[in-house]
Amino acid sequence: MKVLGKFKKHNKPNAPWMKYYDVEEINVGDETIYEMMEKAALKYPNNPAIEYFGKKTTFKVFLEKIHSCAKALKNIGIKEKDVVTICMPNTPEAIICFYAVNKIGAIANMIHPLSAEEEIKAYLINNHTKLLLTIDIALEKIQNILNETKVTKVIIASAKDSMPLLLGIGYSLTQGREIKKINHPDYIYYKDFINRGKYETVKTVSNHKDTPAVILHSGGTTGVPKGIVLSNGNFNALVHQSFVTFNRLDPNEDSILTIMPFFHGFGLGVCTHTPLCIGVKTILVPQFSAKTFDKLLDKTKPTVVIGVPTLFEALLTSNNVPNLDLSRIKYIISGGDSLSLSKIDKINKYLKDHGCPINLGQGYGMTESLAATSYTPGPGNKKGSVGIPFLGNYFKIVDPDTNKEVGPNEDGEICVNGPTVMLGYLDNEIETNNVLRIHDDGLIWLHTGDIGYMDEDGVIFYRSRLKRMIVSSGYNVYPSYIENIISQHPAVLSCTVIGIPHPYKVEVPKAFIVLKSDYLGINVKGSIKSFCEKHLSKHSVPYEFEFRKSLPRTLIGKVDFKKLIEEEEKKRNKE
C-alpha cells in the first residue's frame, strides 16, 4: 500500500481559544488502536464494553473474543500490513474484527454494506483486500463481483450471531428467512471462522503511531470516492482530546448510544473507539429508524447521545413516548451537517421539556480529520457556532484564492491542522496535495472546502460548503459523481443533480435528465433508476428524476445548477 501524505511539523499557530482550556497540550504515544483500548479493558474488566439488543459483553470477554478473532485471522493467512475489509453494520462481530485486525498489525478497510456492487468492487480492488468480512444480507452483491477482485476468503456474519437466544430465533424465522445459505470453500460463516483459530498463537504487533491502520471512504472535495488513510495516532489522538473535552464521563455508570455506523469516521472514531478507550459502554444499534428514535432512547437510557441533525429533528415530530425522561444525559451532540438557529431552539426546548439538563452541542469535522475537530463546550458554546478546536487542533480561516489568513469575523475557507488529520488519500498524490497544503507558516493544513469564520475568541462559525455537496442523513453525497454515473446510461444525453429538502434526511439528490433523441417518448425512468442502484450507494440514488428537453446554462455554457435550485425553491414556496 502506498500512502502519499505529508508529515506535520510542530510549530504552534495563534490559538485564542486556548483560554478555555486548563491544560496546554495532549501527548499521543506510540500505542496502536488495539493497545490503547486494551488498557481500558484491563482496568475495567468486569464493566460492560458493548451492549447489543440488551445483551452485554464485559471488557474481559470482549478482549477474549478479539484474541480469538486475531488467531482466526492468522490461521486464514492474514499478516501484518494486509488489508481486511469490513462490510458490516454495527454488530459485535464488526468491532471485534476491527480490533483483531489492528492487533495483528493489518489494516482495516471499512465500507458501507449498502454500497452498490460496483462501489464494493472498486473498494476491494483499489486497496488490494485479501479478506472480506460481510453481513449476510450483502452476499448477493459480493458473489456478483468477487471473481473480479483478489479477495481469497469471505467471512459471513449475521445480525443474529450475537443476539440473545430467543431474539436470534425470532430473527431467523422472520427477516433471516429470506437470506440464502451458501456452501462454497471461499465463503466461511463467522463461527466456523473463529473455530479455525482455536489452536493458533498470536501476539500483539506494536506499531508506530504514524503507521497506517484504517481506510475510510469519502468523496473528499471532488466527489470521486477516495480511500482516506488514517493512522493509529489519528484514532488515539481523538481519545486524548476526548479525555479533556468529555471529562465528566464515568466508566462505572455511563453509556453511549452508537447509532452512527462503523464505516463512518463519526461512528468508528467518536462513538466507538473513544468511549471504549475511556471504559464507557457502547450500545450498538445495527439498524435505525428516525421515526422511533424516542423509543430507542427510552429503552436504552444512554448518558451520551451523538448523531446527525436528522435524528434530532425527528424527535420534534415523535410522540411514541410522551413522558420520555432525558434527565440522565450528560452529553448530546449533533454533527455531520449544520442546523438552523430556529431548529436548534426547537430541539433545545424539546430537550428541556423532557428533563434533559443540557442543550444540544454541535461539532464540526470531516472524515479526513476523523470526523470531529471542534465542539461547543461550556464557554465556547456561542449560539450558532460549532465551538472551539479540540485540544491539539488548530484552525485558521483563509482566502480560498490566496491561502492568506483573514481577520476575525471574516468569511473564508476553514483549514485544520492537528493530530487527527489523515496521512493522505490512498495512492492519490494529486488529491492529497490538493487538500493537504503547506502554508507560509511551514505547517500542513487540511483544506476542508467549507466556508466559515472565527471570532476574536477563537470560536468557529460554519457558513456553507465551498464545494458542491449534499448531506443526506449525515452522509456526504456528491452531485458530480452521481452525474458521472447517470451519464453512462445509454439513454442519457446530459444530466445534473441538486439537493432538495426531505423531512427526515434533511436533503436528498434529485436528477434532471435530458434524453438522447432516440429515447424521446420512451419511459426509461425505471431503467435509469436500476442503473443507479447498481452503481451508487443507497443514499446517493436520486430520490426524484425529472426529464427535460434542455437544462439551463450559464453564459459560459456550463449547466446552471443554481438556477435549478432556485426553481425548486419557488415550486416549494407555491406548494
Does residue 351 lie in a domain region?
Answer: yes
Q: What is the pLDDT of residue 38?
A: 98
Between CA 214 and CA 98 the distance in angstroms is: 9
> Residue 546: is its pLDDT beyond 80?
yes
User: Which of 334, 364, 394 is the last residue in one of the domains?
Assistant: 364
Q: What is the pLDDT of residue 574?
A: 77
Q: What is the pLDDT of residue 381?
A: 80
DSSP helix, strand, coil percent of the chain (3-state; round to 5):
35, 25, 40
Does residue 155 share a domain with residue 273?
Answer: yes
Does residue 488 share a domain with residue 356?
Answer: no
> In the numeric block, which cell numbers belong to residue 25?
497540550
Does residue 495 lie in a domain region?
Answer: yes
> For residue 517, what pLDDT band results from cuts at 50, 70 and 90?
confident
Does residue 7 lie in a domain region?
Answer: no
Q: What is the pLDDT of residue 16?
A: 94
3-class secondary-structure state, position 186: coil
> For residue 557, what pLDDT band results from cuts at 50, 70 and 90?
low
Q: What is the pLDDT of residue 159?
A: 92
Does residue 10 lie in a domain region?
Answer: no
Whether residue 313 contacts residue 504, with contact meaning beta carbons closer than 8 Å, is answered with yes
- Name 334's bridge partners: 307, 362
What letter does residue 360 receive in the DSSP assignment?
Answer: P
Residue 292: which of 504, 46, 91, 476 has the closest Cα?
Answer: 504
Q: Which amino acid is at 448?
A: T
User: Which of 315, 349, 364 is the last residue in one of the domains?
Assistant: 364
In sequence order, the 6+-apart residues with CB closer than 8 A to the CB of 212 are 1, 3, 107, 229, 230, 231, 423
Residue 293: in which H helix or E strand, if any? helix 293-300
Angle between helices 525-535 and 479-486 (to 10 degrees): 120
CATH number of the domain bearing residue 532:
3.30.300.30
Segment among 66-80, 157-171, 335-349 with least mean pLDDT: 335-349
> In the numeric block, which cell numbers belong to residue 29?
504515544
Average pLDDT on 122-144 reads: 94
Percent of the chain surpassing pLDDT 70: 95
Q: What is the pLDDT of residue 54?
A: 95
Between CA 140 and CA 34 the distance in angstroms is: 32
For the ranges 34-38, 138-142, 430-434, the maximum mean pLDDT occurs at 34-38
> Residue 290: is its pLDDT beyond 90?
no
Helices (H) then strands (E): counts for the chain: 17, 27
- Structural domain including 204 reads 27-364
Segment among 143-152, 309-318, 441-450 with least mean pLDDT: 309-318
3-class secondary-structure state, position 215: strand
Does residue 93 share a domain with residue 226?
Answer: yes
> For residue 6, what pLDDT band results from cuts at 50, 70 and 90?
very low
Q: What is the pLDDT of residue 222?
A: 56
Whether residue 388 contacts residue 379, with contact meaning beta carbons closer than 8 Å, is answered with no
> Which tens digit of pLDDT belongs to each residue from 382-401?
888 999 999 999 999 999 88
- Please give the sequence-ordered ranges of beta strands (E in DSSP) within 180-322, or none if there are none: 187-189, 212-218, 226-231, 255-258, 281-284, 304-307
Among positive and negative, which fits the CA dihedral 85, 373, 328, 358?
negative
Does residue 353 share a domain with residue 225?
Answer: yes
Between CA 87 and CA 59 the distance in angstroms is: 24
Q: How many domains would you assign to the chain?
A: 2
> Residue 516: is its pLDDT beyond 50?
yes
Phi, psi (rounded to 5 degrees) for 506: 75, -60
> In the numeric block, which cell numbers belong to residue 499?
439537493
Location of C-alpha cell 464540526: 364
> For residue 380, what pLDDT band results from cuts at 50, 70 and 90?
low
Average pLDDT on 97-106 reads: 98
Q: What is the pLDDT of residue 309?
A: 81
> Residue 5: is its pLDDT beyond 60?
no
Does residue 443 lie in a domain region?
Answer: no
> Which tens digit of pLDDT belongs to each residue from 152-199?
999 999 999 999 999 988 888 887 777 888 989 999 999 999 999 999
Average pLDDT on 301-311 reads: 90
> Residue 8: is its pLDDT beyond 50?
no
3-class secondary-structure state, position 191: helix
In sequence order, the 6+-apart residues with CB closer than 8 A to the CB of 188 are 76, 153, 154, 155, 156, 196
Does residue 198 lie in a domain region?
Answer: yes
> For residue 11, what pLDDT band results from cuts at 50, 70 and 90?
low
User: Which of 321, 348, 364 is the last residue in one of the domains?
Assistant: 364
> Residue 49: is its pLDDT beyond 70?
yes
Does residue 169 lie in a domain region?
Answer: yes
> For residue 223, what pLDDT band results from cuts at 50, 70 and 90?
low
What letter does residue 426 receive in the DSSP assignment?
Answer: B
Does residue 526 lie in a domain region?
Answer: yes
Average pLDDT on 258-285 reads: 94
Q: What is the mean pLDDT of the chain?
A: 90
Does residue 124 share a domain with residue 245?
Answer: yes
CATH number of the domain bearing residue 175:
3.40.50.12780
> Residue 265: is its pLDDT beyond 50?
yes
> Residue 4: is its pLDDT beyond 60?
no
What distance, in Å, lies between the first and last C-alpha atoms of the chain?
Answer: 53
Helix residue ranges per DSSP H, 400-467: 429-435
Q: Which one has a higher pLDDT value, 419 or 566?
A: 419
Residue 322: which of 360, 350, 349 has the closest Cα?
Answer: 350
